[in-house]
Amino acid sequence: MSRWLISLVLLAILQGCSPVHEQVLDTSETQTQLQMRQVQSRTFETNDKERTMRAVIATLQDLGFVLDKADLTLGTISATKLDGYAMRMTVSVRPKGEGKMVVRANAQMNTAPVTAPAPYQSFFRALERSMFLAAHSVD
């Protein structure tokens, strides 16, 4: 009887653990890590990190976000949009080789990660307009 009870408790603990594990690592069954990066990243043909970051900030403001923080050295910008929901977004900017800048964005809507490609496509379209440059998919 007690063995049954112990295994039942163990099972309950294990069951309880697995969602935390999944949520910390946000493991996806439909998208690989590489696919996710491709959805969230674009390259721009420029050497100017500061200009790219300022364009990202302007785009986020145009989309109704209020900035949370930004760091030129690390190339990160975080912002929050409140409109009946809370959307948080981090955008990172890093140089890639000569004359290229990789911009990567990841967002969460309330308590769920944004994984669909369409919202990111919309974001990069808005950023293209602010940069006056075309966004290219990352190889």
Partner 1 sequence: MRPSLSILCAAIIVLLPVSGCVNRVVREALTLQPEALEQRRIQTRRFETTDEHELLTASLEVLQDLGFTVDETEPDLGLIVASKNREASSTGEMIGAFFIGAATDSEVTYNVEQRIRASVVTKGLGRSGTSVRVTFQRMVWNNLGEISANESLEEPKLYQEFFAKLSKSVLLTAFGI
Q: Name the site residues for partner 1 (rule: CB under 8 A).
A: 50, 53-54, 57-58, 61-72, 79-87, 107, 109, 114, 116, 118-120, 122-123, 125-126, 129
Tell me how far, at minimum, the Cβ of 74 lies from partner 1, in Å: 10
Q: Which is nearer to partner 1, 4 or 85 (CB)?
A: 85
Least Å from the CB of residue 121 to partner 1: 9
Is residue 39 within 8 Å of 31, Cβ to Cβ?
yes
Structure tokens at 91: 């955008």
Dihedral of the CA atoms 56, 62, 64, 65 (nearest 10)? 20
Identity of the residue, 65 or 102, whose beta carbon is nearer to partner 1 in the bound complex? 65
Helix axes 49-62, 117-131, angle to 10 degrees: 120
Cβ distance to partner 1 smaller for residue 9 or 125? 125
Least separation in angstroms between residue 107's CB and partner 1 is: 7
Least Cβ distance, residue 118 to partner 1 (angstroms):
5
CA distance 90 to 92: 7
**CA distance between the termini of the chain:** 59
* Stretch (H or E) spanning 48: none
**Complex with partner 1: residue 102 or 107, whichever CB lies closer:** 107
